[in-house]
Chains A and B, each alone.
Chain A
Amino acid sequence: MKLLTHNMLTSNIIKGVSNGFPLGIVANKVEVKDVDFNQSFVLKTLSKVDWNALRQAATQVGHGDGLPEELGEDLKENDDVLKKIHNAMLQVEVVEGELVCPETGRKFPISNGIPNMLLLEHELQ
């Protein structure tokens, strides 16, 4: 699971959960995979990303170094920072671990890089 995906995931499909974001992360195994850098995609995607959640997730899994506390306006001219953001968003992957619903504490296991978001009968809407 990439941290961009984590930034878009919520547990609000569980009955009674309203926001379900951001999900807590427990990472037992993390890998970094090469992904081609695409500046315009990173910039465009940043407008949807919850930056605090991304920075926090990256820090939590040990890849937060060099990520700015806030996104400046001159980002477009700053390829160094953009590449670090690209790395955190798209290259860092949680392979084993779990996601945790911020409202109920319900855990979603991650194995083989795949978060299991299946629900139980009593959790359905």
Chain B
Amino acid sequence: MAASGRPEHQAPPEIFYNETEAAKYTSNTRMIEIQEKLSERALELLALPDDESCYVLDIGCGSGLSGDVLTEADHTWVGIDISSSMLNVAVEREVEGDLILGDMGYGLPFRPGTFDGVISISALQWLCNADKKYHSPAKRMQVFFRTLYAVMRRGSRAVFQLYPENSDQLEMLTQQAMKAGFTGGLVVDFPNSSKAKKIFLCLFCGGQSTALPKGQGTEESSSNTAQMAGRREKRQRTALKSSRNWILEKKERWRRQGRETKPDTQYTGRKRKGHHF
């Protein structure tokens, strides 16, 4: 993206995401596809417990494309966004999530420990801008991360896919997050491809010592392509639940999520009494 083409340089978000821009989020299929893919990967990194409906916050939810992915996975979500045009499109699309008009830089208006997980797709870079004369990015980040930490359940994660303009922005965001008490850091998918490269800030709330998940398309990662489980694939997986393949796949998924996972051996997937993982 050329620097001059960055949305953040054109207007404040509540102005940039006007009705015309918001309409693209229902009609432009390529854009929809990209947002869905990013959301699926973020949900994977979120590593919510399997087969359990959770309560999730979507920051910069826009028209609810990222939220749809949460609905698809049976989670209940609340979305917050600064653009009423985007939120009105979400209402028109009859999304399942509940919507709030708010500015993340003013703090998140929820009670402590409310959410089991937080996602944010293509929104966090906006926090690096000063759009009003009384806005200071550092101050806004501080308020944002402090309140974010408070509204999350201890032991939960927040995953942000973002488009930073430069490494200074990334550093400032990460620093402010750590100051607020988070652990974690960056996960970069396909770091060697200028086109496919995707940056995720993964934050852990509650100080558990979790290893960061691996980025896709990196040398340590065994999967070079995004292997998102589509709905059909998921159904197949359930049918084959006890097979070795299913277990390997699940363990691979857990590794991508950064969960502690036993190495695969020739015994993986063999029938044993009282064994579970």
A binding-site residues for B, Cβ under 8 Å: 1-2, 4-5, 8-13, 20-21, 35, 38, 40-41, 44-45, 48, 90, 112-119, 121, 124-125
The 8 A CB mask of B89-104 against A (1 = contact, 0 = none) is: 0010000101111110
Residue of B55, B74, B102 touching A117 (CB-CB under 8 A): B102
Q: B69 interface residue, CB < 8 Å from A?
A: no
In the bound complex, what is the Cα–Cα distance between A9 and B147 (angstroms)? Answer: 13
A10 contact from B76, B96, B109, B132, Cβ within 8 A: B109
Find the residue from B55, B91, B109 having the highest chain A CB count within 10 A.
B109
Q: Which of B36-44, B110-118, B175-183, B199-207 contacts A (4 or more CB under 8 A)?
A: B110-118
CB-nearest residue of chain B relative to A41? B53
Q: Scoring B residues 48 to 66 as 1 if CB is less than 8 Å from chain A, else 0, what string do you get?
A: 0000110100000000000
Report which B residues bind A (CB closer than 8 A). 52-53, 55, 74, 76, 78, 80, 82, 84, 87-88, 91, 96, 98-103, 106-111, 113-114, 132, 134, 143, 147
Listed residue (B52, B98, B132, B134) with the most chain A CB atoms within 10 angstroms of its CB: B98
Chain A residues within 8 Å of B134, by CB: 121, 124
Q: From B53, B74, B101, B113, give the contact of A114 (CB < 8 A).
A: B101
Q: Are B114 and A2 in contact (CB under 8 A)?
A: no
Q: Cα distance A20–B107 when bound, in Å?
A: 13
Q: Please, which residues of chain B bring their CB within 8 A of the CB of A115?
A: 100-101
Task: Determine the distance from Cα of A93 to Cα of B114 in the docked complex, in whole angstroms.
Answer: 19
Question: Quick check: A119 and B99 within 8 Å, CB to CB?
Answer: no
Q: Are B53 and A5 in contact (CB-based, < 8 A)?
A: no
